[in-house]
């Protein structure tokens, strides 16, 4: 426990004592009812602390986000609560989260992800066009030195950088076709080579 944690615990304890004291003073005539309310509020307080303390574990269980490697040439990805599949690939040794989009023709990087993997803004030449759900956007063709998923690595991978507004990079068919088999069944996506 750090000094900040101890300070926060002390602060919350003082607040709890002050609230309990005010509650007891205002309800001094009916001690049975006061004890009952104090127990209820105490349980609510302990429950709130437990939820805050365990939120990381709870959130991890709610968000499946599990990628399992089966052997050296097969990957299984669970469908998330929003209905999509997500993978994090190492692009030029930088982890980049992708949403799998079989409707996208190519691997599409956001401008931010492109900068993170070492593609400078000045080197991007937005000569292409793509039809998206948000209309036509400009794209810049690029070559990625290496794209790695677990032990599986591809070199000189073609991708495009999207000039439009995107919240996440997309893993389209340009990359997915490198896999020999793509299966979607029972809430799981399986990629095999």
In the predicted structure, residue 64 carries a pLDDT above the cut 60: no
Note whether 107 and 171 are within 8 A (CB).
yes
Predicted pLDDT of residue 71: 76
The pLDDT assigned to 93 comes to: 93
User: pLDDT by residue (tens digit) across 21-51?
Assistant: 777 677 666 767 777 777 888 888 888 887 7
- Tokens at 69, concatenated: 């490697």
Which residue pairs from 38-46 have beta carbons closer than 8 angstroms and sit at least 24 positions apart in sequence? 45/16
* Cα separation, 139 vs 77, whole angstroms: 28
pLDDT, average across residues 176-190: 90
Beta-carbon contacts of 189 under 8 Å, excluding residues fewer than 6 positions away, are 76, 77, 79, 85, 100, 182, 183
The pTM for the full model equals 0.64
Residue 157 confidence (pLDDT) above 90: yes
| Distance (Å, whole) CA 83 – CA 187 | 9
CB atoms within 10 A of CB 100: 20
pLDDT (tens digit per residue) in 72-121? 788 999 998 888 999 999 999 999 999 999 888 899 999 999 999 999 88
DSSP per residue over the chain, as a string?
A: --HHHHHHHHHHHHHHHHHHHHHHHHTTT-HHHHHHHHHHHHHHHHHHHHHHHHHHHHHHHHS---EEE-SSSEEEEEPPTTS--EEEEEETTEEEEEEE-TT-SS-EE-HHHHHHTT--GGG----EEEEETTEEEEEEEEEEEEEEETTEEEEEEEEEEE-S--SSEEE-HHHHTTSSEEEEETTEEEEE-
Provide the pLDDT for residue 144.
94
Residue ranges covered by each domain of the chain: 3-62, 67-192
pLDDT score of 86? 93
Torsion over CA of 39, 42, 43 and 46, rounded to 10 degrees?
-160
Q: What is the mean pLDDT of residues 155-173?
A: 92
What's the token pair of residue 3?
């000094």
Task: Note the pLDDT of residue 43.
Answer: 85
Question: What pLDDT digit, counting tens, does each position of 127-144 carry?
Answer: 998 887 778 889 999 999
Write down the pLDDT at residue 12.
82
- Give bridge partners of residue 89 from the DSSP assignment: 96
Query: What pLDDT shows up at residue 61?
Result: 54
Structural contact between residues 104 and 116, judged by C-beta atoms closer than 8 angstroms = no
Q: Does domain 67-192 have CATH number 3.40.50.150?
A: no
- Per-residue pLDDT for 176 more than 80? yes
């Amino acid at each position: 426990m750090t000094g900040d944690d101890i300070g926060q615990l002390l602060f919350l304890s003082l607040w709890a004592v002050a609230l309990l004291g005010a509650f007891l003073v205002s309800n001094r005539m009916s001690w049975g009812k006061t004890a009952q309310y104090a127990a209820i509020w105490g349980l609510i307080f302990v429950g709130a602390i437990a939820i805050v303390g365990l939120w990381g574990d709870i959130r991890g269980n709610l968000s499946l986000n599990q990628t399992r490697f089966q052997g050296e040439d097969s990957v299984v990805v669970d469908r998330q609560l929003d209905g999509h599949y997500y993978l994090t690939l190492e692009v030029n040794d930088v982890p980049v989260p992708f949403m799998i989009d079989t409707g996208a023709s190519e691997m599409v990087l956001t401008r931010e992800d492109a900068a993170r993997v070492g593609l400078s803004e000045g080197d991007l030449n937005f000569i292409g066009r793509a039809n998206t759900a948000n209309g036509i956007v400009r794209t810049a063709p690029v070559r990625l030195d290496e794209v790695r998923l677990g032990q599986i690595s591809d070199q000189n991978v073609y991708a495009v950088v999207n000039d439009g507004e995107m919240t996440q990079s997309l893993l389209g068919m340009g990359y997915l076709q490198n896999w020999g088999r793509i299966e979607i069944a029972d809430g799981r996506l399986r990629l095999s080579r």
